[in-house]
Amino acid sequence: MSRPKLLALLGVGLAAAALAEEPRPLAIVIHGGAGVIDPAKMTPERAASYRAGLAAALDAGYAILERGGTSLDAVMAAVRIMEDDPQFNAGRGAVLNHEGDAELDAAIMDGHGPRAGAVAAVRHVKNPVELARLVMEKSPHVLLVAEGAEEFALEQGVALLPRGYFRTEGRERELEEARRAESERLHAASLPGSGTVGAVALDAAGHLAAATSTGGLTDKHRGRVGDSPIIGAGTYADEACAVSGTGQGEFFIRQVVAYDLCALVEYRHLTVGAAVREVIHEKLRHTGGEGGVIALDRNGNIAMDFNSVGMFRAARDSRGRRDIAMYRDAR
C-alpha cells in the first residue's frame, strides 16, 4: 500500500475512533408554566415546593436518558410527574373552566419520524400525556378530542376518573376570583392560569422529542382548546429542534410559534437561542402575546426564554448543567 493511502486510512481510522469515544450529548429541559405567581407573592415555602416539583420531573426524565432510554420516554415521564403534582396547571390541580371542570389538553411529538399524538378537552383522564402517546402509537390519528378521546382511552384500557379528582381548593378559589373579575378580565391581557407543563429532550441516539400538558385558562369557555395540543403551535419536534411553549395559547396558535421557531433553526440556520429570542421577544411581543418557550437542538444546545414576569423552568445535560429557575434573574 502506498504511503499516502496508508496515512489517509489511518486518518479515517483515528477520526472514527475519536467519534466513537465522544459520547453524544444528553439533555432535558422542562417548564412549569409562564403564567407564574407574582414574585412579590411568592413565599420561600412555595418557591421551595415548586423547585422540588420541577427537580423531581427533571431528574426522572434525565435518569431515563442516562439509562439509554428514548427522548420520548423522558419527556413523557417528566410531564406525567408534573401532571400528578397539584401545584401545576396539568392533570390534578389544573385550572378550571367556567363550569368548574378541569378540561385538559396535551400533546407529544417524536422528532424522529416525525410522529405526533394529542388530546384536547378531556375531563376524566389522569395523565393526558399518556393518552396523547397512545393516540400517536395506537391510532392512525394525531388529535382526538373530548368524549371521542375518552372513548379511545377506554378502548386502550385507560381508566377514567371522576371529575372531582382534578379539582383542588386553590383552583376553585382562582375560578371564583376570575368569575368576579370577569368583565374586566375579558378585556385584560392577563396571563391564563399558572403552571402549564412541558418538556423537550435529546437522547443518546440523537433523537429529539417534545411534550406539553395543560388545563389551559381559568374560567375558559367549555370546549376552548389552547396551543398545547396543536402540533406546531405549543408543541413541536423534528430532527433538528424540539419546542414546548407556555403562555396565551391563542397567540401561540395564530403565530404557529413552536414550528416557526424550528423553521428559523432549519431554514435561516439560527441557533436555538437566537430563534427563541426572535420568536418570543420580537414576533410574539409585537402582537401583544405573552409567554415563553423551552427549546433544544440536536447538539444539546438549550434555550429557555419568556417575555412574561417569569417562567418556571429547569434544565439538565450530560455536560454537567443542572439549573432550576423561576424569574428573570435565575431565582
Q: Would you name the residues annotated as active-site residues?
A: 196
Shortest Cβ distance from residue 37 to ligand ASP (Å)? Answer: 12
CB of 74 to ligand ASP, least distance (A): 21
Query: How near is the Cβ of 286 to ligand ASP at its closest, in Å?
Result: 18
Which is nearer to ligand ASP, 152 or 251 (by Cβ)?
Answer: 251
Question: Which residues contribute to the site for ligand ASP (CB under 6 A)?
Answer: 33-35, 89, 192-193, 196, 214, 216-217, 226-228, 234, 246-249
CA quadruple 265, 144, 167, 59: dihedral sign: negative
Sequence-separated (6 or more) residues with CB below 8 Å from residue 242: 71, 109, 111, 200, 201, 202, 208, 209, 210, 236, 262, 295, 296
C-alpha cell of residue 201:
429532550
Q: Grid coordinates representing 23?
A: 459520547
CA pair distance 226, 206, nearest whole angstrom: 30
Q: Is the dihedral of CA 85, 196, 149, 78 positive or negative?
A: negative
User: Measured from the CB of residue 239, what is the shortest distance to ligand ASP in angstroms?
Assistant: 25
Nearer to ligand ASP by C-beta: 22 or 38?
38
279/281 Cα distance (integer angstroms): 6
Q: Which residues pair with 316 in a beta bridge?
A: 28, 322
CB-nearer residue toward ligand ASP: 217 or 263: 217
Q: Between β-strands 115-122 and 143-145, what pairing exists: parallel, antiparallel or unpaired?
A: parallel
Supply the minimum distance, in Å, between the C-beta of residue 227 and ligand ASP: 5
d(CA 97, CA 149): 18
Rounded to whole angstroms, the Cα distance separating 210 from 287 reads 25
For 144-169, b where at least 16 C-beta lie within 10 A, e where not — what string? bbbeebbebbeeeebeeeeeeebbbe
Closest CA to 292 of 212, 219, 176, 231: 212
Beta carbon of residue 166, minimum distance to ligand ASP (angstroms, whole number): 15
Q: Which is nearer to ligand ASP, 36 or 237 (CB)?
A: 36
3-state secondary structure of 285: helix
Closest separation in Å from C-beta 107 to ligand ASP: 11
Residue whose CB is less far from ligand ASP, 62 or 251? 251
The dihedral built from the CA positions of residue 83, 87, 90 and 93, taken in this order, carries a sign that is positive
Sorted by sequence, the CB contacts under 8 Å of residue 127 that are 6+ apart come out as 80, 83, 84, 91
Residue number with CB closer to ligand ASP (117 or 226): 226
Q: Which is nearer to ligand ASP, 42 or 240 (CB)?
A: 42
